[in-house]
Amino acid sequence: MLGSIFVIQLGTFSAIVAISIALLGLSASGLHIYLSKIVERPDVFQEHYYTRILWYVVAAVICPVILVNLPIHYGDFIMAGNSSAILFKNLIYLLAAIPFYAGGVCVFYAFSANPGQISTLYFFDLAGAAIGCVLAPILLSMVGAPKTILFSIVPVILAVLFAPTAQVIRRRAFWLALPVILAILVLGNHTSLLTPKKLNSYSAVVNPQQKICSIRKGDLEYEEWALDAWTIIRAKKIPQQWENFVGWGLSTNFNGFIPEIRLINFNSRYSTYVSKFDGDFSRISEWLDADLISLHYLLGRPYQSVLNVGAGGGREVLNALHHNAKRVLAVDISRVTVNSLMKVRLREFSGNLYFDPRVEAVVDEGKSYVARLNEKFDLIDFSIVGGAASEKIDLINTDTLFTQEALNSYFNHLNSNGVFSYGMYGHRVDLIDGIVKSGKMAFLPYIPHLKTLAGIRRTLEGSDSSIRFSDHVLIASLSHVIDPDYDLVHIIVSKEPWSQSEVDLFIRKTEQLGFNRLYPADGSRHNIYSDLVTADSLRSFAETLPFNIMPATDNSPFYFALNISGADDFRRYAMAIVGILNSPLVLGGFAFAVITLVFLFGPLLLSGSQRLIVSSIPKSVRKLAYFACLGLAYMFVEMAAIYRIQAYLGRPIYSLSVALFSFLLASGIGSASTHIFVAKKSRIILIVGFICLLVLAFHYVGRDLMGRTLAAPVWGRLAIAAMIIFPMAVPMGMLFPLGIKSLYGDETRIISWVCAVNGAASVFALFAVRITALLFDMSTALLVGGLCYVAAAFLFKPNRHPLSDPNLGHSAA
């Protein structure tokens, strides 16, 4: 839920930051418990424990409300350069961490005070988190992210109220918390208390200038939280996200009639738009045809059946009907856009577009939906979907929509003379050509259109090796769209060669409308698109470039263009490497690596009076390193699996929910099963070996199973995803409690410390696994996770008298 709020306030990598803050807050609480020595007083456990739960409830109620009311928007520091934004950004991190810190104090206090019951306690901790992973998306779609956070506190309050050991005075305080939460929820319905306070606005689509504006109650005409985004329509009295909006790629030569347009915003970052339509195409036909993304309709080829993925507000649906399509299948991932807006609120405004008998509007994720279809089309149309915009909620930040496997599927769903239309923005062609010409990476280019073009070429040449790709592709662009350094590029590919008359018509139309012609190249002008299209060998051409143009795959579904094989040439890559090192992902990973080391060794640097001394420092470091390896290993395997599941399920929220639920519940079951085990070296080695075998099975068997069942309905894919994760996660959940059970006597005092180290290592792994997957692939990330488990087995060294039952060690329960 924090990720849903962060994506509005902070922008990129919001989900990773949110998870990191949660784990960091938990880790800090473990270190606090260790240094405070409170576990040395089991006689006051009950009193202190309920007090800490009360502090958690207070923090969990107050902090999210303050956080959502902070006057900050991601544009403040991404583009506008607002100096005060950094202060607010750090304040957001602090406010987000406090509830997790307070909750972690409760959890790790219970762990430390009851080491003999760690198997059972850890099971309930993980099982509760697993249930939360299922309930959170349901509540998010019903009441929104801020209210979901508040609702999550209610079970904690009820548990205390009905706990037989809770003190009367504590119960009174918890009773007071319920009406406070209710009052906040009511105020949230009637005021802007739970609504973000700032939005951005751009001067125009071409060469945009950004400004930030504050919003109040009544400034939003429509608002709804959903699984994919916070979806809003701004009131006409406030600045729209795009001022004077006329379309994404409208020709600057056009000066005719433009219909009224309503913009639908997602997380205040992305937009689709709805055109006012009264059923008369004659008024808007010239406007429709004057857009860059309409070029495929101007070549004289009819498209009786059209599949439009990313239909949104229906602009391309209108275009298809205008050009006499008999069937239009409009697919969009946003339930709010299709069902709540286009079919209800904006139904009359859009001219009942999604109720036209020729139109079928479907809410689904494009890649998996197309894979399930048994139908072929004359035209498959993608208009500005994928790339950085593929995840409005920015959970995992992958682009699975245009992997090589996905492109193969799309072309298999085209008729023999079918056309594939793809529009996307990215760095300008002259900037990219400048890198190629100089051989120096002044920056890391954002080139999803080039990577997709390379993937399309591989698809066509893979189906027929004799094919000449240059006969099948037409490319045009419009410069300075979305960003002054960007082009909007339209790639049109036919399964059959374009006729000369179609090519001539394409050339004539691009000249009339003032678009840049990239292929066939405009006269003698040289550009990377024409080079890619005409190169004798795509692979050989790609190897001459300082960046990576090869398409994403399901094993590495990222649109980034870093070429790791040449990055060792620092002179050539210096500026790009500096830019990469300054990215939030790398800076965050470095920062959390330092934090992990501080949590690992910091307490060892304290004086004897402040530090709880165990049997020996080297021995303690070894035990701490064991738990650090577990944190690294678990997160590497878990996140690599989530990335794989993401490519399979499509929706990021589905992959996170089902994967986290499966990992947490299965690990909890694994933890509970260790209640009867003694922590032995041989048992740890056996479990690690079992984990490694199951990780290999997930990599090979699981990947094959997901590939074969991609066309299954969503409930079936959810079940399959859970099924392939569960066996692997059960033994993964055994190693932590067995590590705790290996502690004996005074060593049980470091339980909260090892929890802190485990959490801090997990935070670092969150960033490290993504960097590993970016530089290599998911398979490498899984391999690193397996190696970390092997390292943990090597480091494990049980004591002579490990905790094997609840009667060993001290217990305060």
What pLDDT is recorded for position 570? 52
The answer on 487 and 611 residing in a single domain is no
What pLDDT is recorded for position 42? 58
The answer to whether residue 713 sits within a structural domain is yes
The answer on 290 and 262 residing in a single domain is no
The answer to whether residue 196 sits within a structural domain is no
**How far does the chain reach from its first CA to its final CA, in angstroms?**
33
The answer on 392 and 312 residing in a single domain is yes
Task: Report DSSP state, residue 499.
Answer: P
Domain residues for 250? 210-266
Domain count, the chain: 3
Distance of CA 523 to the CA centre of its chain: 42
The answer on 291 and 258 residing in a single domain is no
The answer to whether residue 685 sits within a structural domain is yes
CATH of the domain at 394: 3.40.50.150
C-alpha 218/C-alpha 224 separation (Å) is 14
The answer to whether residue 617 sits within a structural domain is yes
The answer to whether 452 and 424 are in contact (CB under 8 A) is yes
The answer on 224 and 167 residing in a single domain is no
C-alpha 724/C-alpha 722 separation (Å) is 6
The answer on 186 and 127 residing in a single domain is yes
The answer to whether 806 and 644 are in contact (CB under 8 A) is no
Q: What pairing do the DSSP bridges indicate for beta strands 270-275 and 261-266?
A: antiparallel
C-alpha 683/C-alpha 680 separation (Å) is 5
C-alpha 366/C-alpha 653 separation (Å) is 15
The answer to whether 307 and 379 are in contact (CB under 8 A) is yes
The answer on 214 and 187 residing in a single domain is no
Q: Is the pTM of this model over 0.85?
A: yes
The answer to whether 765 and 639 are in contact (CB under 8 A) is yes
Residues of the chain falling short of pLDDT 50:
80, 388-396, 607, 609-610, 612-615, 803-813
The answer to whether residue 475 sits within a structural domain is yes
What pLDDT is recorded for position 616? 53
The answer to whether residue 179 sits within a structural domain is yes
The answer to whether residue 239 sits within a structural domain is yes
The answer on 358 and 328 residing in a single domain is yes
**477 three-state secondary structure:** strand
The answer on 219 and 172 residing in a single domain is no
C-alpha 169/C-alpha 4 separation (Å) is 36
The answer on 742 and 593 residing in a single domain is yes
CATH of the domain at 615: 1.20.1250
CA atoms within 13 A on the CB side of 619: 13
What pLDDT is recorded for position 613? 47
The answer on 259 and 282 residing in a single domain is no
Which two tokens mark 84? 């005060």
Task: Report DSSP state, residue 699.
Answer: I
The answer on 472 and 412 residing in a single domain is yes
Angstrom CA distances, 554 to 201, 253, 301, 337, 480, stand at 35, 41, 33, 28, 31
The answer to whether 225 and 302 are in contact (CB under 8 A) is no
The answer to whether residue 11 sits within a structural domain is yes
What pLDDT is recorded for position 399? 72
Which two tokens mark 609? 């009076």
Q: Order across the sheet with 516-519: list the strands.
A: 359-363, 327-332, 305-309, 377-383, 414-427, 486-494, 473-479, 516-519
